[in-house]
Amino acid sequence: MSEDKDRDGFFDTGWRPSRDVHRDEDGRPHDHPGVREDVVLGVRASRALAMHELLVEKGVIGEGEVDEVIEAWSKRVPSNGATLVAKAWSDPEFRTRLLEHPKETVIENGFVPEHGADIIVLENTPEVQHMVVCTLCSCYPTQLLGPPPDWYKSFSYRSRAVTEPRAVMSEFGLELDEETEVRVVDSNSELRFLVIPRRPDGTDNWSDEQLATLVNRNSMIGVAAATEPGTD
């Protein structure tokens, strides 16, 4: 691609001989903490950095604000939800409180629901299997489960979860008895749903830490079972 045909720099990968990069117009090397002068930035990364600098310079965002957001996202992981589920399995009082006052209990345990959204906790039993979908978009308890997986956001899951939930669960390795009632929960409003999967047999004397290792992300969406001991 010759340069004159790429006026907007769309195809510009940013590759340059290192002596040639990341300088101001007057040729001075341009400092970014942690970035050495010889690192070659692509055109998009350069733009993002430039925009970031402008936003900070104009006072739209604080200097460390983007880093803080990235830091906050790095703490949104499925083990947050797993901690709560394991505790609910082992402590009946905690289980009751988590089911009856979910938002308060989540906050008490150090997790802050995103946008102040309400949290609802649903418990799976031999009689009832809850399975969560957001047919309109991708509503998801990110504070407890991390960012939603791609399949959760896919058109395929969002339509099949409501039309053939058992077929979907079966693809996740969960075969339910016909007597088990399936409740597909369409998360369409200001609420986020966390599912407590069934506790696997043979885990009676397990510690909360051990139990938490069985609580996989998909089981807290309700599409799969908790991990069976010894199969991880």
Partner 1 sequence: MSAAAVPKLEFSQGDRVHVKDMTPPNHHRTPWYIKGRRGVVLEFIGMYVNSETRAHGDSGMPELPMYRVEFEQTHLWFDYTESPSDKLWIDLYEHWLERDE
Q: How many CA atoms lie within 13 A of 99 on its CB side?
A: 14
Q: CA 9, CA 7: separation in Å to the nearest integer?
A: 5
Residues forming a β-bridge with 133: 186
Residue 79 known to be catalytic: no
Output the smallest distance, CB 116 to partner 1, in A: 9
178 binds partner 1 (CB under 8 A): yes
* Residue of 137, 154, 189, 207 with catalytic role: 137
Contact at 8 Å (CB) between 226 and 197?
Answer: yes
Q: How many CA atoms lie within 13 A of 135 on its CB side?
A: 10
Return the residue of 78, 146, 165, 197 that touches partner 1, per CB under 8 A: 165
Residue 156 known to be catalytic: no
Return the residue of 46, 79, 109, 135 that touches partner 1, per CB under 8 A: 135
Return the residue of 63, 104, 181, 228 that touches partner 1, per CB under 8 A: 181
Residue list 105-134, contact with partner 1 (CB under 8 A):
118
Q: Which is nearer to partner 1, 120 or 214 (CB)?
A: 120
DSSP character for 35? Answer: B
C-alpha distances in Å from residue 1, one per residue of 6, 12, 14, 30: 7, 9, 13, 27
Return the residue of 156, 163, 205, 231 that touches partner 1, per CB under 8 A: 163
Output the smallest distance, CB 62 to partner 1, in A: 26
Tokens of 40: 């070659």
162 binds partner 1 (CB under 8 A): yes
Contact at 8 Å (CB) between 13 and 42?
Answer: yes
Phi and psi angles of residue 204, each rounded to the nearest 5 degrees, phi first: -55, -45
Sign of CA dihedral 28, 32, 37, 39: negative
184 binds partner 1 (CB under 8 A): yes
Output the smallest distance, CB 164 to partner 1, in A: 6
100 binds partner 1 (CB under 8 A): no
Residue 159 known to be catalytic: no
Residue 137 known to be catalytic: yes
Q: Which is nearer to partner 1, 4 or 175 (CB)?
A: 175
Sign of CA dihedral 96, 101, 103, 107: negative
Which residues of the chain form contacts with partner 1 (CB under 8 A)? 118, 135-136, 162-167, 178-179, 181-186, 188-191
Which residues are marked as active site? 134, 137-139
